[in-house]
Amino acid sequence: MAMTPAQMDRRIEQNSDDILAIYGLLTDLDKKVTAHDTRFDRIDDRFDGVDGRLDGVDGRLDGVDGRLDGVDGRLEAVDGRLDGIDGRLEAVDGRLDGIDGRLGGVDGRLEGIGGRLEGIGGRLEGIGGRLEELSGQMTEVLKILKDGRG
């Protein structure tokens, strides 16, 4: 269907208005994209700063990790020394158990000796009594002999 010149003018005007509206939208969209690009650039700059700081932290953590490796090595050495000390203490404990057993034997022997000494003491008391008795008898014999000679 053919258009009349008035219809064509109206159609051209509508298309021109539509094109102007599209240009307006594209201009707004371009401004928004530019604003977002600016924000993204700032965010990128921030991320670059964060990356730099993270690299610094990573370096520090590497240093700490190295120091911890040194500490771990020293702790392993201390652990080895403590294992040696534990072994020595176990040996000392075994020796002390042996000494304790021997002291128990000595204690039993001393109790036996104490009993024997008590027996000897009793026998000495008996001998002392007999010596006193003999001394008394000797005194009587000497007295008799003196009296008989005199």
Predicted confidence (pLDDT) per residue in 105-121, tens digit: 898 898 999 999 999 99
Residue 99 lies in a domain: yes
Q: Determine if the pTM surpasses 0.85.
A: no
Instruction: Please check whether residue 11 is in contact with residue 3, taking contact to mean a CB–CB distance below 8 angstroms.
Output: yes
Expressed in angstroms, the distance from the first to the final Cα of the chain is 199
How many structural domains is the chain composed of? 1
Residue type, 107: D
CB-neighbour burial class of residue 145 (10 A; exposed 0-12, middle 13-18, buried 19+):
exposed
Residue 46 lies in a domain: no
Residue 129 lies in a domain: yes
List the domain range (segments joined by +) for residue 141.
70-145
Name the residue with tokens 């008799």.
144
Residue 23 lies in a domain: no
Looking at residue 19, its pLDDT comes to: 94
Residue 59 lies in a domain: no
Banded model confidence at residue 94, pLDDT cuts 50, 70, 90: very high
If you count DSSP H runs as helices and E runs as strands, how many of each does the chain have, helices first? 1, 0
Residue 9 lies in a domain: no
Banded model confidence at residue 149, pLDDT cuts 50, 70, 90: confident
By percentage, how much of the chain surpasses pLDDT 90? 74
Segment 52-69 mean pLDDT: 91
Residue 132 lies in a domain: yes
pLDDT over threshold 80, residue 148: no
* Distance in angstroms (rounded) separating the CA atoms of residues 9 and 87: 109
